[in-house]
Amino acid sequence: MVGPNFESHKRPSHRACELNQHPNIQYHTAQLPFWTVHPVYCSNVVMKDLTILAPLNAPNTDGIDPGVGFGSEMSGGISNVLVRDLHVWNSAQAVRLKTDVGRGGYITYITIANVTMEKVKVPIRFSRRADDHSDDNYDRTALPRISNVLISDVVGVDLQRAPMLEAVPGAVYEGICFRNFSLRGIRRQDRWHCKSVYGEAHEVFPAPCEEFRKNGSSSWCGFL
């Protein structure tokens, strides 16, 4: 399904499995580079006991998109996703939310729990400016909306740096909750990097950025 020259392409068109407009899917195994499992216009998708292997030099290995990688092509919206019992190793990022001006859409009601990671460059990343529009005629007022994202029970070792969280200027980010993080053995940058992203963090090591330290005592995030 993927030719030997995939390294030379910025974004090859090959997927191991692309599900389009399918309800009630159960998926179990996948091995290949680039958007290995890619559900499109789907609902009630179950991916269970799934192992995804891809070379480190593959150009765009989201693994499960959406699932571990969310966006940036999300104009139709991504909602009600549960990711649980996730083990990531030898990877650029473990969990990533990608957004861009001109996409619009939303990422909401996302729960990611019980994550272990090792030899990962960036454990949690919210990124912006994917810069992959087909032309310059996109709507610059179409901004994403990110809300009700819970990431909890995360253990990481042998990491390159702490989480990096960057928002599209003017976009709405609300209800972002991090709980029970233990990120150890950070080799390069052990301080969180946050820009225009706000939320709450409880029982998190290393200490989060200032934008996540203003925790209300009655917050839903603190009582989960």
Q: Which pTM does this prediction carry?
A: 0.77
The 3-state DSSP class for residue 173 equals strand
Whether the Cβ atoms of residue 102 and residue 130 lie closer than 8 Å to each other: no
Tens digit of pLDDT per residue, the chain (224 long)? 233 333 333 444 444 444 444 444 444 444 455 566 666 677 777 767 777 776 666 666 655 544 778 877 777 788 888 889 999 988 888 999 988 888 778 999 999 999 999 999 999 999 887 566 667 787 888 888 999 999 999 999 999 999 999 998 888 898 999 999 999 999 988 899 999 898 999 999 999 999 998 665 556 787 66
In this structure, how many other beta carbons lie within 10 angstroms of the beta carbon of residue 34? 22
The span from the CA of 209 to the CA of 206, in Å, is 9
Tokens of 34: 């680039």
Residue 210: phi and psi, rounded to 5, are -60, -35
For residue 39, which amino acid is it?
A: P
The span from the CA of 127 to the CA of 168, in Å, is 8
pLDDT, position 66: 47
pLDDT, position 78: 87
The end-to-end CA distance of the chain, in Å, is 43
pLDDT, position 17: 45
For residue 129, which amino acid is it?
A: R
